[in-house]
């Protein structure tokens, strides 16, 4: 018999699945942040013959470059719509890998099944951070690599979430803010003594996709699920819509009027302890 907690969790996951099916996240991955996937693959040292799991893989920003090394890759994500785009992308590039719908907080894989378990701005959006971290560790073999690339709270995307927060519906009970995965202390606490050789570094992603601050705002209003959801929440209040329009453009403008931006992320690699 289902408990209330089970039902609430299913409803929450359904909301997350719907969130990432809004707009056109694959356009964000392909046009704005394509360099993040190859950077994570490089940091993890992925090579031919390894068995690799990409958690929160989306449309394959990291999974496809991983498969291009000759590794055996599974791309998993809660949103099947993103996986469908990923399959098409891989097919166009002649890359073979598996695409599987899966919940980052309850991965359908055996203990120690993978040589590398990675996530590129994916697992950070799972609502319960410790549950997701426990799964990353569980499915990685002893001596294997865990690699994470996450937006920092202080960086541009972290600031964007802070800007949108007053206009967003209240988060579900127990859900934690995604940019916390970009805080080194938080990630170290999540992984604990189950990993060794932790390497954590902040890096910047150059972004030159947008000619003006308004171009950035309008692109994210059109393509990025979390931004679309926030605007839907305030759609009946034109004053709030206008205010958020101004605040998002101002956020981008603080990076400079030329359209050249730097988005900070935290890159973490660690070895699964024996």
Number of domains in the chain: 1
> Is 42 within the bounds of a domain?
yes
* Beta-ladder partners of 203: 265
Q: What is the mean pLDDT of residues 113-138?
A: 98
> Is 146 within the bounds of a domain?
yes
> Is 43 within the bounds of a domain?
yes
pLDDT digits (tens, 9 = 90+) for 19-51: 999 999 999 999 999 999 999 999 999 999 999
pLDDT digits (tens, 9 = 90+) for 248-261: 999 999 997 767 89
Write down the pLDDT at residue 11. 87
> Is 65 within the bounds of a domain?
yes
> Is 196 within the bounds of a domain?
yes
> Is 128 within the bounds of a domain?
yes
Residue 2 clears pLDDT 50, i.e. is over it: no
Residue 111 clears pLDDT 70, i.e. is over it: yes
Domain of 28 in residue numbering reads as 4-207+262-272
CATH code for position 76: 3.40.50.150
> Is 244 within the bounds of a domain?
no
> Is 127 within the bounds of a domain?
yes
Residue 240 clears pLDDT 50, i.e. is over it: yes
């Amino acid at each position: 018999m289902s408990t209330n907690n089970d039902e609430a969790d299913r409803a929450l996951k359904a909301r997350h699945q719907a969130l990432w099916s809004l707009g056109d996240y694959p356009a964000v991955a392909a046009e704005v942040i394509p360099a993040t996937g190859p950077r994570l693959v490089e940091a993890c040292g992925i090579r031919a013959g390894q068995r690799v799991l990409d958690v929160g893989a989306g449309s394959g920003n990291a999974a496809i470059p991983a498969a291009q090394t000759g590794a055996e890759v599974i791309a998993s994500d809660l949103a099947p719509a993103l996986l469908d785009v990923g399959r098409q992308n891989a097919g166009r590039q002649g890359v073979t890998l598996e695409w599987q719908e899966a919940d980052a907080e309850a991965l359908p894989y055996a203990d120690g099944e993978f040589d590398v378990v990675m996530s590129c701005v994916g697992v950070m959006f799972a609502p319960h951070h410790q549950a997701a971290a426990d799964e990353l560790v569980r499915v990685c073999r002893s001596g294997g690599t865990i690699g994470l690339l996450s937006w920092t709270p202080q960086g541009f995307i972290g600031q964007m979430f802070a800007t949108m927060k007053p206009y967003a519906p209240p988060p579900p009970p127990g859900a934690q803010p995604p940019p916390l995965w970009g805080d080194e202390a938080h990630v170290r606490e999540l992984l604990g003594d189950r990993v060794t050789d932790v390497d954590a570094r902040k890096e910047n992603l150059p972004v030159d996709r947008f000619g003006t601050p308004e171009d950035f705002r309008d692109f994210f209003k059109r393509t990025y699920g979390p931004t679309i959801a926030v605007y839907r929440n305030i759609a009946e209040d034109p004053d709030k819509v206008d205010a958020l329009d101004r605040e998002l453009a101002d956020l981008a403008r603080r990076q400079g009027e030329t359209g050249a931006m730097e988005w900070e992320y935290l890159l973490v690699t660690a070895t699964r302890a024996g």
